[in-house]
Each structure stands twice: as structure tokens, then as C-alpha cells.
Amino acid sequence: MAKTLVINTLGATTKSFSLPADDTATSAFCTAILDGQFEGFVKQGESGTDSGITAYNDVRVQISSDTGSKTYIGFAGKVGATDVEIQNALIGKTVNGVKADKVFVSMREVKVGA
């Protein structure tokens, strides 16, 4: 089944969601329903695997700019990844319209299938 990730931006607000539809159907939906700008990204394939995974890091990141803007992201990270590696990967980048001048990372290890 087709799957499309939609990123919808209106002013300083950005939302993202996925639809179980191809790019044509997603574009028709977005044109009819959404305000602001939108982009659709169609799933082309898969990489990676979740087999053999016994744990992951539940990561929460606060990104802030020197101008006071903030955004938050979360993801399931590799157990071996450190907060410093995540900070170094994000610092200076722009995420959700916020330049990452400061990056705060919190994470906890979660066991899988125990």
C-alpha cells in the first residue's frame, strides 16, 4: 500500500502526518483540506530492521535558538548513541524552522520484548 508523509507549514507552525495514499490522492486531499504550504514524500522503500533489537533509547530533544524560538523532537535511537553525539549531529542545523544553537537531550533505555 502506498504511504505518503505530509509536512504542512502555516506561518511558524509546522505539522507532519502520514496518509495511506499515493502522491496523487494525497495531493488532492491536501489541496482541498490544508491551509498554508505542504510537501508530500512518498515511501519508496524500506531500510533497516527491527529484528534482533533488544533495547532502544527513547530520546527527547529540545532545540532552541539564540532568538528564543524552541522546538521539540522525539525518536527511538540506538542504545549505543550518546547525548553528545545527538547534540553534535543537530547543533547548527535548522529543525522545524528553529536554528539549533542549543540542544538539550534526555533519553532512557527501553527494553524490548522482555
Of residues 17, 108, 12, 57, the one with CA closest to residue 3: 17
Strands 13-19 and 94-95: unpaired
Q: Return the SS3 of 88.
A: helix
The yes-or-no verdict on residue 3 having pLDDT over 90 is no
pLDDT (tens digit per residue) in 38-53:
999 988 777 777 778 8
In this prediction, residues 26-44 reach a mean pLDDT of 90
pLDDT (tens digit per residue) in 58-95:
999 999 999 999 999 998 999 999 999 999 999 999 88
CA quadruple 90, 97, 9, 4: dihedral, nearest 10: -10
pTM of the model: 0.65
